[in-house]
Structure 1
Amino acid sequence: MTRVEPLEPHHPGTAILVAAAAAVGGFLFGYDTSVINGTVDALEETFNLNSVVLGFVVSSALLGCAVGAWFAGPLADRLGRVRVMLIAAGLFIVSAIGSGLAFAAWDLTIWRIIGGLGVGAASVIAPAYIAEISPAAMRGRLGSLQQLAIVSGIFVALLVDYLLAESAGGDAAADVPWGGPAWRWMFVSAALPAIIYGVLALQIPESPRYLVRRGRIPEARKVLQRVIGGDVDLKIREIQETLVGSQDKVQLKELRGPRFGLQAIVWVGILLSVFQQFVGINVIFYYSSSLWASVGFSESSSLLITVITSITNIVTTLIAIALVDKVGRKPLLLVGAAGMVITLGTMAWAFSTATLNADGDAILGDTQGKIALVAANLYVVAFGMSWGPIVWVLLGEMFNNRIRVTALAVAAAAQWLANWLISTTFPALADIGLTFAYGLYATFAALAFFFVLKAVRETKGRELESM
């Protein structure tokens, strides 16, 4: 008679703790991509950069993100989700230290691209892993932890930037009391959360869907019992049925379909990702300090405003977490897109009233400046309670078990390329006029509304095996 090992009892809180640990990758994602915000003016001064080169240096990490996302899917199917998390943590650490020691714009760019590889990998693994270990009834809330971690990382990075700049007398290019320019310490600070992420990754179980794919059924049974409970054997059979005919390593050819070479669901994921970036959200977090300084706020005040904006982003993400499994994914995306059209349109109008000073910088009047500031924060509210978290939730759950990580990798790579395009072109668009820039983002928000209305299907409450 075969001896059956007793399974650990199911604790509902286990899935929350495991998902939260995995979501720390999102924290690094937000921290690494936002820490550049406080360094922009200092980098321009230190390395004597023009607007085109500055835009490339700032956005260079995003090229690494696209590459990291692209290869994270195949690696995750071959090595496992947890091992890819550990690789991402290592890349974060190397990038943080290297960026802090950079001696020229070109080597800073290299270090930022290395960090981007880790960010891109984390952006694929976290939503896929969280979706694969979450009970269907709370998958939306747990999937939203990814975005909560991202915006928390943005907040902490901006707060660290602000405190370091203040310690250097409000100038990131100046030395801090313990030595070295503040901007260098801003980059180095990313090493600490990266170490924490690596330690946490060693404590969490492997994805049960990955374990079933690799034939490690006893291990999968234990993990499912811990995080989901219920009829574990039935769940394993359902997973196996969705994997029939699949390979250990999913090839990109698995994503092929009749519509422009890809399956329709893959195109939906790609376009969700692209629209998430084309509404211009990362302009707020990459360039906001410089933006507010250009319309009359001091550098210190501009950094503080950006910190406040990031707090707003955290609060609105909590709203999304509360609503996503009750209201659903699609309604939140529609409301958010409509809100962004209105707020971006308001910002475009406010900047159309700006006057130019002797240096050629746009200066807003007192009333218009306040309106622009309120509109910018309401725009973050509209994005934070919808497109920020919900796109990551959908990307983690909308694909079937056979292609999930690979399709997510393609969609995430498209997202990072779109992010890079928006971030790189913003300085040039700003030179044309902020009215034009924000008007363009408002147009994309309107297109996103109609895309969701026509093409996105609701996934609330559905099991992954039914996708």
Structure 2
Amino acid sequence: MTTATKQSSMYLYLVCLVAALGGFLFGFDTAVISGTVGLVKKDFALDVSLEGWFVSCALLGCIFGVSISGKLSDKYGRKIILILSAVLFLASAVGCMLSSSFTELIVYRLIGGLGIGVASMVSPLYISEFAPSRYRGMMVSLYQLALTVGIVLSYFSNAYLANHTGDTFGGDMSQRIFGTEVWRAMLGLGTIPAGIFLLSLFMVPESPRWLLLQGKEAKAKEILIKIDGEDAAKKEIAAFKATERGEGEADLKELFKPVYRKALWIGLLLPFLSQVCGINAVIYYGPRILEQAGFTLNSALGGQVTIGIVNVVFTFVAIFTVDKWGRRPLLFLGVGGAVAALLIIGALFAAGITSGPWILIFILLFIACFAFSFGPVCWVVIGEIFPNAIRGKAMALATLSLWIANFFVGQLTPLMLEDLGSSVTFWLFAICCSPALWLTWKLIPETKGRSLENIDTYWKEDYQRTQKA
């Protein structure tokens, strides 16, 4: 391997890691709320409805952020919208830490939700357009890895700050933030990764495919050469021209044409199914579920940290195999394992086998299966199945599907656990998860090693074959 190649590879990894920090902030900001709910409720004397509003208000921002991110990223570029998401994260963290009223706190949580919504779409979009086809699965999986690391670090930071609330600090404001109202420090700690993300983004280039859509071929070629060498850059540009013919920005109605119907169904269903399988129910309501299984509160919280660590570790399986084994094998193996684990967990609850480690073992099996399949592969697939000219808008639509499912799971899980019990809840998650096996078998093509332009060509050829049949 030549020195130039090494430099090119390092550049690719560093740029994709910077973009993946959007996933870290997504995971951190989403999960950090779990440690603050009781403290905020006490300090502001919240009733049940206001407590729920504090937890779920960011979701409103997420949905709006996703809704605007596609159009904005197609019009102004991926990089500038990533910078916008970093600014929103930073403003939210600082504002939540210093807010003087509950209303102010809600406003800054909404701003943070906007940042989450924007980053959850644009970060994997940017990586999928930036990485060469042979590394694309691995690079996009870094986004999911960063997300899981953000979740785990939020658990640890919450635990550390909660255990040091009695410590004495210098000034009155410091004492308030880190001592008497430690939830401020929990939320404010996000300023560190948000600041790093913001500064790092000024050092990364624009997406070369977005530049090609804008007719800026020379700049795009310069970036592509730095990523993968001159020969590869020429091939990428030639393939782009052959499929796009300089169409520039297109309308989303292009996606509803019969030729892209399968891509549309995949983009809507795969993200939706990845959430209704119950992953966030396990992550966010883990302590409650484990307490119902007979664990004490302390051991349940320890189990939640273990869940987070397993989530991180098994994401590495996807990183190292998604470009070797392919997307479909990982989905078949992971989704099948997740369905089996959910069915067994439900059976254990139904049979009253809650003592011992069995419930936790199969919850960890479910998390492991999700972590190397649904979690990262969903982002990989939706980042590569749409045509260049509308990829931003189409990915926004797919990510919106994910957030809608996330909302329903978050709202319904406590009710299901209370009214239906743990066994029926997990069986329902298994039923909701299983259609992903059919989706993978019938609709999702194997995209390993294919360029984005080649995938676009595949849809057109597949449609022609269907018409002739």
- TM-score surpassing 0.5? yes
Q: CA deviation at 1:381?
A: 0.3
Q: Does the 8 Å CA contact 2:63/2:403 hold for their aligned counterparts?
A: yes
Cα distance in structure 2, aligned partners of 1:391 and 1:335: 14
1:446 alignment partner AA: S
Q: Does the 8 Å CA contact 1:336/1:382 hold for their aligned counterparts?
A: yes
What is the match of residue 393 of structure 2? Answer: 406
1:430-449 equivalences under 5 Å are 430-432=417-419, 433-449=421-437
What is the match of residue 136 of structure 2? Answer: 139
Equivalent residue for 1:156, pick from 153, 157, 161: 153
What is the match of residue 389 of structure 1? Answer: 376
Q: CA deviation at 1:156?
A: 0.9
Q: CA deviation at 1:353?
A: 4.9
Cα distance in structure 2, aligned partners of 1:112 and 1:439: 33
Taking structure 1 as the reference length, the TM-score comes to: 0.88
What is the match of residue 76 of structure 1? Answer: 73
Does 1:235 find its partner at 2:236? yes
Equivalent residue for 1:454, pick from 442, 447, 450: 442
Q: Does the 8 Å CA contact 1:346/1:375 hold for their aligned counterparts?
A: yes
Q: CA deviation at 1:52?
A: 5.8
What is the match of residue 325 of structure 2? Answer: 327
Cα distance in structure 1, aligned partners of 2:354 and 2:330: 34
Which SS does the other structure have where 2:439 is aligned? helix
Q: CA deviation at 1:86?
A: 0.7
Q: CA deviation at 1:69?
A: 1.5
Q: Does the 8 Å CA contact 2:294/2:354 hold for their aligned counterparts?
A: no
Which SS does the other structure have where 1:78 is aligned? helix
Q: Does the 8 Å CA contact 1:66/1:414 hold for their aligned counterparts?
A: no
What is the match of residue 20 of structure 2? Answer: 23
Percent identity between matched residues is 36
Larger % of helix: which?
2
Which moved further from structure 2: 285-294 or 319-328? Answer: 285-294
2:59 alignment partner AA: L
Which moved further from structure 2: 401-410 or 445-454? Answer: 445-454
Gaps of 5+ in 1: 1-6, 170-174, 355-363
Q: Does the 8 Å CA contact 2:387/2:453 hold for their aligned counterparts?
A: yes
1:238-253 equivalences under 5 Å are 238-244=239-245, 246-248=247-249, 250-253=250-253
What is the match of residue 63 of structure 2? Answer: 66
With over 3 angstroms needed to count, the CA separation of the structure-2 counterparts of 1:107 and 1:443, relative to structure 1, is: farther
With over 3 angstroms needed to count, the CA separation of the structure-2 counterparts of 1:26 and 1:106, relative to structure 1, is: same
Q: CA deviation at 1:107?
A: 4.6
What is the match of residue 88 of structure 2? Answer: 91
Cα distance in structure 2, aligned partners of 1:180 and 1:447: 48
With over 3 angstroms needed to count, the CA separation of the structure-2 counterparts of 1:438 and 1:176, relative to structure 1, is: farther
With over 3 angstroms needed to count, the CA separation of the structure-2 counterparts of 1:50 and 1:16, relative to structure 1, is: same
Superposed CA offset, 1:260-282 (max 9, x none): xx833112111001001000101
What is the match of residue 206 of structure 1? Answer: 206
Superposed CA offset, 1:368-411 (max 9, x none): xx211111111100100110000011111111212211111100
Taking structure 2 as the reference length, the TM-score comes to: 0.88
Which SS does the other structure have where 1:366 is aligned? coil
Superposed CA offset, 1:330-351 (max 9, x none): 1111111111111112222233
Q: Does the 8 Å CA contact 1:36/1:286 hold for their aligned counterparts?
A: no
Does 1:195 find its partner at 2:192? no
Superposed CA offset, 1:416-465 (max 9, x none): 11111111211111211222221111111112222222221110010111
Does 1:310 find its partner at 2:308? yes
Cα distance in structure 1, aligned partners of 2:122 and 2:438: 29
Q: Does the 8 Å CA contact 1:32/1:190 hold for their aligned counterparts?
A: yes
2:341 alignment partner AA: T
Does 1:35 find its partner at 2:36? no
Cα distance in structure 1, aligned partners of 2:23 and 2:35: 20
Q: CA deviation at 1:182?
A: 2.5
1:262-281 equivalences under 5 Å are 263-281=261-279
Cα distance in structure 1, aligned partners of 2:376 and 2:48: 31
What is the match of residue 4 of structure 1? Answer: none
Q: Could you say what the CA RMSD is over the residues aligned between the two structures, in angstroms?
A: 2.5
With over 3 angstroms needed to count, the CA separation of the structure-2 counterparts of 1:287 and 1:143, relative to structure 1, is: same
Q: CA deviation at 1:329?
A: 0.3
With over 3 angstroms needed to count, the CA separation of the structure-2 counterparts of 1:52 and 1:429, relative to structure 1, is: farther
What is the match of residue 453 of structure 2? Answer: 465
Q: CA deviation at 1:49?
A: 5.0
Equivalent residue for 1:372, pick from 359, 363, 371: 359
Q: CA deviation at 1:84?
A: 0.6
Q: Does the 8 Å CA contact 1:90/1:198 hold for their aligned counterparts?
A: yes
Cα distance in structure 2, aligned partners of 1:455 and 1:315: 29
Which SS does the other structure have where 1:326 is aligned? coil
Q: CA deviation at 1:183?
A: 2.2
Which SS does the other structure have where 1:136 is aligned? coil
What is the match of residue 170 of structure 2? Answer: none
1:132 alignment partner AA: E
Q: Does the 8 Å CA contact 2:293/2:349 hold for their aligned counterparts?
A: no
Q: Does the 8 Å CA contact 2:27/2:147 hold for their aligned counterparts?
A: yes
What is the match of residue 357 of structure 1? Answer: none
Gaps of 5+ in 2: 167-174, 456-469
Cα distance in structure 2, aligned partners of 1:95 and 1:107: 10
**Corresponding residue pairs, total:** 443
Cα distance in structure 1, aligned partners of 2:253 and 2:162: 49
Q: Does the 8 Å CA contact 2:294/2:355 hold for their aligned counterparts?
A: no
Which moved further from structure 2: 382-391 or 207-216? Answer: 207-216
Superposed CA offset, 1:84-128 (max 9, x none): 111001111122233334566655443222211111111111111
Cα distance in structure 1, aligned partners of 2:79 and 2:162: 36
